[in-house]
Copies of this chain bind each other. A is one copy, B any other.
């Protein structure tokens, strides 16, 4: 797997490397979600981090934001086709971790 150092690899890590981007994308895979819904399913995320992650994913064209002129106003976030394709590409990695995290657990145990 040829991996040039530099910008594009950093973008991998910036795009999905952070703790929350992958998890936000995965939860939007089931369809549009409101801020409050994401906040509830993403246990442990702060409002600041959720707002920042949604902003960055939107900046990168991976999610879209729709607001509806209702009372109270409604805002929904959705995966874009680009976001969906990233999620699919990351699926192999997510499967790998779910298949191997016990092997990593064993490796981490002292005196293995």
Contact = CB atoms under 8 A, between A and B. Distances in A.
Contacts of A71: none
B12 A94 contact: yes
Majority SS at the chain A contact face: helix
Given A1-B91, A3-B94, A103 B61 contact: yes
Number of copies: 2
Contact of A11 (B1, B26, B29, B97): B97
Contact of A108 (B18, B59, B92, B108): B59
Interface residues of A, number: 52
B89 A93 contact: yes
Given A23-B9, A41-B5, A107 B16 contact: no
Most chain B beta carbons < 10 A, residue from A3, A5, A18, A87: A3
19 contacts: A3-B23, A3-B94, A5-B44, A7-B101, A8-B98, A11-B97, A11-B101, A11-B104, A13-B17, A16-B93, A17-B17, A62-B107, A82-B100, A86-B100, A89-B93, A89-B95, A90-B96, A92-B93, A93-B93
